[in-house]
Structure 1
C-alpha cells in the first residue's frame, strides 16, 4: 500500500516538473535551459527512487515486526523466536532482533537448529521463523526432519511470498496431528495464515485457515485448542499391544469384549475396551496385537510390549507399572486405564505364633500389681500361720509357720487350684477367703482374654522389612514380570527377599495363581502377584472367616500403572485428552467396577473359631519343661542333702 501511494505521489511530481520545464522552454528557448531541465529531472527521479526504496524497505520491516509481535501475542504463550536459515541482510536481522527485544520477545539465531543440544529446556517456548524465499530453506527443513523438530510442542512459522511455489518443500514435512506449522503468505494487502498438517504418514498435506493480518490479527480458527482442531485423524490405524500372561484364550475373548473368563488377563481386557473407545473418539481404525511379556532389556535389546512400541509395531500398550526407568528412553506414560496393584498378599500369622499370648491379657502395670499383692499376702499369711502355729497343736493340715507354706498357699490361690493345708483360726481364714475371691475375678478376666487372643490374628507384619524378617514363606506368581522385577532393586531388604524367592541354587518359589491362593489359605505364605486376580480367586475359594486377616505389602513401591505410548508419537496429546475425557465421564470407573474384584471384606470376624494347636500352647509347654527340669534338680539336691 505504501509503495503504491509513493508511486502515485512520484507520478504527480513528475507531471509538475514536466509542466515547469515546458513553461521555461516556452519563455526562453536555449540549449542550456534544455540541458539544465533534463539534469534536474534526472536528479529528481533518482532522489525519488531512493526515497521510495527506503520507505518500502523500512515499511516492510516495520510491518514484519508488527506482524510477529501480534502473532506472538495471539499465541498466548511464552515465546522465543529462533531465526533459522534467514538470508536477510545483517542490518535487517539486527533491526528485527532489536525491535522484537524492545517488545519483550526473545530471539536467537543459532548456527544450527539441533534442538537436542541447546533448546531442550525451553522446547515449549520455541518458535522457529523461516523464510521460504531463502536458498538455505531446503537444508533447514531437512535438518529439522532429521532431528524430528516438527513435533509437539515446537512451533514453526514459515514466511512466503504469494508468487512463490513451495508445495514441493512443504509436502515432505512430517507435520502430523500434533504439529504446529503455520504458513504466512505475504501479499500486497495482507498476510494470510494457514495451518498445515497431515492426518497420517502417507496422507496429503491438509491446510486450514488460521487467520490473516492487515494491521491487526484476525484469528478465524473455530477452536484455539489443538485437540479440538486435530481430533479427527481420518481413519488412521492405531494399534494397541496387549500383554496376555494368564491364558491364550484371551486372544479370542479380548477383541470380542464378551466378558468371559475374567479370571484371566482382566487388566488387558479393560485397557483394550477403554483404548478402543478412545480410538473411535479420534476417528481412528482400532487394531491390536498381542505380546507375552511387558518388556525388559535383555542383552541390550528390548522385548515384549516395549519392543513393539520401540519398533513402531504398536502405538500404545497395556498400562504397566513404572518400575524400570530405562523404559523412559523409548516410551512416554500417559494415563491410567485399569488400576492394579502388585503386592505380597498373605494372611497375618496367628497371634500365638509371634507373641506370648499368656502375657498379653494384662498390661505390665497390672502384672506388677499382681506380683506386689502376692508378696504382701505371702507375708501376711506367713505371720498369721506363725501366730497360729504357736497357739494350736501341730496337725497334718495345719500351717507349720514357715515361708514355704505361705508361698505354697499364695501360688495355689493364684492358680485357683487350692491347697491341702489351711488356717484354723478366723484371721487366717478371712485372709484366705479374700485372697481367693480377688484372684477368682482376676482369673476370670485372664481366661476370657486368653480365649480371644487364641483366635485373633496378629498385626505383626505391616512393612517389607518385617515380612523379610518373618518366618513366612515367600513366593511369586509364575508369570513373566516376577522373573525380572525382583532383580531391579539393590537395597538389602529387597535383595534378601529376592534370594528367598529365586535363590541362585535350587528351584525358585514360583507357583500358579491357583496353587498360590491355596497356599495363602493355609497360612504362613506370602504370594507376590497382581492382587486383583488373587482376590477374585479368594472370593471363590475362601470362607468368610478366612478373609479377615488378609494383608498386602508393597515390594515395588512404584507409582500407579500408566499406559505407555511410543516416545514422540504425534498422537500422544490426542490420546491424553481422550483418556481424561473417558475417565471424567465415568466410563472408566464403570468398567473397573464391572470387571475388577476389590479386596474381600470381613463380615463374620467374631464368629470365627479354630481349634487350639501346639503352636498356641508353646509358652505353656516351655514353662512345663522348665518346671520339670527345676523339680528334678531340686529332687537331686534333696537326695544329696539327706544322704549326707
Structure 2
C-alpha cells in the first residue's frame, strides 16, 4: 500500500501496486482515501480482487490444449468433424471467452498426451507436465480429476462431464434368459408339474383297469409306465394319440386332460411369440458380464489406461473376459459393430452421437441404450499450476461464462443425442439363438435315442451269441446207435 497526500485537502490517497507478470510494468490501483475525521474510505470495498483485476491488458499467455489430430487446428470453433478431439473442441469456446473476458492474447501450446505419472522416472508427461512445470498458465483441455494429479496441479472448475459410456443395442431376452422358462412363473411350473403327475397316475390306473377287467385297448394286455409317459407327452404338446378309452370314466378323463393342456399350450405359445420380439435393458456390469454380448473400447490412449487399470473387481472381470488388450476399435468400426450385432462399445458419447445420427436408421436409434462406463464418476477439470496467482481470477471468470450458458451451448452442439421418432416399427426374424434351447433339447433327445439304439443292438447281439442250444436226452442217442448197427449187420 502506498500513501499519497492530496494537494488541496487533508485527505491522503491510498494506492495498491501490482503486476500482471514478471515482465509487465507496475499497475497502480486507487484503493481509496484516508483522513483524521472519517478514517479510511475505500473505493473498492464492494468488489473482489478477482473482478477488479481481470483485465490483463492483452498480455500474451500460453494455454495448453490436448490436440491429437492435426486437422483439429482447422475446426476448433466451426463445430465440424466433432468425432476427433471432441473434448478439446467442447472446451475451446469457453476458454476463448475466458481470454476475451480477461483481455489475454491466447498462445496455444498443443500436446498429444493427457498426462500420466511414470513411477520409474517419477515424472509426469503431456498436459499435466506442461502445467506442473509452469510452462503454461492454464490447461485449455480438461483431463480427469485424480488424486495423483491433484498433488501437482490445482483443479479450478469442472468444464466437461467427459461422458464415456457403454453404447449398445438393447439385446433380445434370449441373450439374457432362457425364453422357454419365462412364460410361467416358478409357482405355475410347480403347479403344472403336479397336474401332470396327477393325470399320469389317473391314466395309468384307469387304462390298466380297463384292459384287464373290461376290454383291451388297442389289443394291449397292459400299459407300462413308458406307454403312459408317451401319452402324457402327446397331450402336453397337443399332438393327440390313437388310443381311445372304452369307458365313460376314461373318456371324461381324456377330455379334461386335453382341455386343460389346450389352454396351457395356447397361453404358453402366445407368450413365447411376444417375448421373441421383446428386448432387455442391460442395467449394470453384472448383466453385461452374464450376457452373450461382446464388448470393446474406443481406441484412445486414455481409454486403454482407465479400462485396464480399473480397481473395481467386476469391471476387471468384464475387461478380462470381453475386452482385453485387443478389444479396442476406431470409433466408426465400434459404432458399426453396435449396429450390426449385439455389441457394447465403451466410447465418448458426444463423438458417438454424431456418427450415430448420420449412419443409423430411426429404428436403430430407438433400440439403443446407454449404460454408465468405467469412468462415469470422473469429470474433466480445467487446472492451473499450484498456487498460481491467476487461479481465482480464472475460476470466477469461468463460473460467469458457465452462468451465461456459453459452456453448455458448446457442449450441446457436440453432444446432441439423436432422437427416436417412432419405435416399434421394426420386426426381427427369429434366429438360431432364440431357438437354441429348443434345438438343444432336440439334439439331446436324438443323442439319447441313438445311444439307447446302440445299447439295444449290443444287448441282443450278445444274447444271441451266448444262447445255449437244448441237448437231447442220452437214451435217444443210444437207440439211434443200435438201429445203425442193426442196419449195417
TM-score, scaled relative to structure 2: 0.81
Q: Which residue matches 2:356?
A: 538
Q: Which residue matches 1:122?
A: none
SS at match of 1:249: helix
Structure 2 counterparts to residues 161-240 of structure 1, below 5 A:
182-183=1-2, 193-201=14-22, 202-212=24-34, 214=36, 217-222=39-44, 223-240=46-63
CA contact (8 A) 2:50 2:393 kept: yes
SS at match of 2:351: helix
Q: Which residue matches 2:110?
A: 290
CA apart distance, 1:372? 0.9
Are positions 1:617 and 2:435 aligned together? yes
Partners in 1 of 2:450 and 2:414 — Cα distance?
A: 66
Q: Which residue matches 1:312?
A: 134
Are positions 1:275 and 2:108 aligned together? no
SS at match of 2:167: strand
Q: Which residue matches 2:396?
A: 577
Partners in 2 of 1:469 and 1:434 — Cα distance?
A: 42
| Deviations 1:66-122 (CA, angstroms, capped at 9, x unpaired) | xxxxxxxxxxxxxxxxxxxxxxxxxxxxxxxxxxxxxxxxxxxxxxxxxxxxxxxxx
Are positions 1:413 and 2:232 aligned together? no
CA contact (8 A) 1:357 1:453 kept: yes
Partners in 1 of 2:257 and 2:54 — Cα distance?
A: 87
Q: Which residue matches 1:351?
A: 173
| Deviations 1:563-601 (CA, angstroms, capped at 9, x unpaired) | 122322222212211222222222322222233222x45
Are positions 1:510 and 2:328 aligned together? yes
Partners in 1 of 2:145 and 2:40 — Cα distance?
A: 48
| Deviations 1:125-182 (CA, angstroms, capped at 9, x unpaired) | xxxxxxxxxxxxxxxxxxxxxxxxxxxxxxxxxxxxxxxxxxxxxxxxxxxxxxxxx4
SS at match of 2:70: coil
CA apart distance, 1:602? 4.9
Greater RCO, CA 8 A, separation 6+: 2
CA contact (8 A) 1:296 1:304 kept: yes
Partners in 2 of 1:636 and 1:395 — Cα distance?
A: 31
Q: Which residue matches 1:252?
A: 74
CA apart distance, 1:508? 3.1
Partners in 1 of 2:151 and 2:79 — Cα distance?
A: 35
CA contact (8 A) 2:142 2:160 kept: no
CA apart distance, 1:449? 2.0
Equivalenced residue count is: 455
Are positions 1:485 and 2:306 aligned together? yes
Partners in 2 of 1:341 and 1:274 — Cα distance?
A: 18
SS at match of 2:181: coil
CA apart distance, 1:349? 4.4
Q: Which residue matches 1:58?
A: none
Structure 2 counterparts to residues 239-638 of structure 1, below 5 A:
239-245=62-68, 247-254=69-76, 257-298=77-118, 299-390=121-212, 392-396=214-218, 400=222, 402-459=224-281, 462-463=284-285, 467=288, 472-486=293-307, 488-490=309-311, 492-496=313-317, 508-547=326-365, 548-598=367-417, 600-602=418-420, 604-635=422-453
Partners in 2 of 1:603 and 1:543 — Cα distance?
A: 10
| Deviations 1:251-290 (CA, angstroms, capped at 9, x unpaired) | 1121xx2232233333322311111112222222233232
Partners in 2 of 1:221 and 1:347 — Cα distance?
A: 62
Partners in 2 of 1:352 and 1:502 — Cα distance?
A: 22
SS at match of 1:344: strand
SS at match of 1:207: strand
| Deviations 1:336-390 (CA, angstroms, capped at 9, x unpaired) | 3333212333345443233211111111001011111111222222333234334
Range with bigger deviation, 483-492 or 331-340: 483-492
Partners in 1 of 2:35 and 2:222 — Cα distance?
A: 120
Indicate how the Cα distance of structure 1 residues 431 and 318 shifts in structure 2: closer, same or farther if over 3 A, else same.
Answer: farther
Partners in 2 of 1:591 and 1:423 — Cα distance?
A: 80
Partners in 1 of 2:219 and 2:246 — Cα distance?
A: 9
Q: Which residue matches 2:487?
A: none
CA contact (8 A) 2:115 2:129 kept: yes
Range with bigger deviation, 601-610 or 351-360: 601-610
CA contact (8 A) 1:474 1:500 kept: no
Partners in 1 of 2:435 and 2:177 — Cα distance?
A: 11
CA apart distance, 1:635? 4.3
CA apart distance, 1:546? 3.1
In structure 1, runs of 5+ residues without a counterpart are 1-181
The RMSD of aligned alpha carbons is: 3.3
Partners in 2 of 1:502 and 1:593 — Cα distance?
A: 30
| Deviations 1:453-489 (CA, angstroms, capped at 9, x unpaired) | 33333345612x5545665444322222224334544
TM-score, scaled relative to structure 1: 0.63
Structure 2 counterparts to residues 46-65 of structure 1, below 5 A:
none
CA apart distance, 1:196? 2.7
